[in-house]
Amino acid sequence: MIQNTIVKPALSLSQPIFPLNLRNVNEIFPGFALGDFAVLQGASVSSLTSLLCVKSQLLTQLGGLQSNVVFIDGGNTFGLYQIARLAQLCHLNPKQVLDNIYISRAFTAYQATSLIMHHLKESIKKYNAKLVIISDIAGFFLDKDIPEDEAQRIFSQVTTYLSNFARETQTIIIATYPQHANTTRNNSLQALTNAKANVVLSLRRTSYCRQFVLEKHPYLSSKVAEIPLEDLTLVDFAEGNA
């Protein structure tokens, strides 16, 4: 059996942690640290990012970041009603929570690239945000109207920029990579995203449960936690973090 091995314990203790607080998950993944460029891939990633948008606004003593959020919506996945409901369950004002999430929407790969590479630094300063969510990071780059070599080149620049940006600004950047068609281009872009990220997390569905998989981490080994399907409702997510 593979054991979790902490290579740099001082690092884990000195950095603020932003936990998911899901049953069985904390045992294998304590949380995000400032400077992480993380990828959430697979099913239910939109629900998780909705939860993180709310949790980031909690006090640090309650597992939050006391921070606003910059949300770059590449997949039209922003869950306004989910977030409002989660805010209520976390005893927060839904309107105030939504007002503290600053949304930018992209409709093409080139718009998404511009929002990230030319406007992100200004946005986190302007809105005092420690958390950046990028939904469906590769979606637009799978468009067949974009030549594959061009999509690969630009996407590589974007993911490299995000990796450096998170580290240099000590911001947590979480990109979602939902399930897409199993194509050569998709597999290539997903592999590229995972290579540039320092934290990779997957949600997989089985017949009896959902698996939370820690695929990649700077100092923790890969491991799997099982979450019963009945524990994966938005209400359970929120009540576990209220």
pLDDT at 219 over 60: yes
pLDDT at 121: 96
**CB under 8 Å to 103, separation ≥6 — which residues?**
71, 72, 73, 78
Q: Band of the pLDDT at 55, cuts 50, 70, 90?
A: very high
Q: State the pLDDT confidence band at 233, using cuts at 50, 70 and 90.
A: low
Tell me how far the alpha carbon of residue 81 is from its chain's centroid.
Answer: 19
Q: What is the pTM of this model?
A: 0.88
Q: What token pair was written down for 86? A: 């989660």
Better-scored residue on pLDDT, 109 or 227: 109
The string of pLDDT tens digits covering residues 61-92 is: 888 999 999 999 987 889 899 999 999 988 89
CA dist., res. 58 & res. 55, Å (int): 5
List the beta bridge partners of residue 42.
Answer: 203
Over residues 214-241, the mean pLDDT reads 72
Domains identified in the chain and CATH numbers: 9-239 (3.40.50.300)
Token match 């406007």: residue? Answer: 119
The more confident residue out of 221 and 3 is 221
Nearest alpha-carbon partner for 165 in 104, 218, 119: 119
- Other Cβ atoms within 10 Å of 140 Cβ, number: 21
Contacts of 52 (CB under 8 A, 6+ apart): 18, 20, 131, 133, 174
Burial of 100 (0-12, 13-18, 19+ CB in 10 A): buried
Residue pLDDT, tens place only, 161-185: 999 999 999 999 999 999 999 999 9
Q: Find all residues with CB under 8 Å of 182, minimum gap 6, and list them.
A: none
Over pLDDT 90: what percentage of the chain? 71
pLDDT grade for 206, boundaries at 50, 70 and 90: confident
**What is the rounded CA–CA span in Å between residue 155 and residue 39?**
15
Q: How far is CA 180 from CA 100, 103, 131, 138, 187, in A?
A: 30, 23, 25, 9, 9
- Over the stretch 122-140, which tens digit does the pLDDT of each residue have? 999 999 999 999 999 999 9
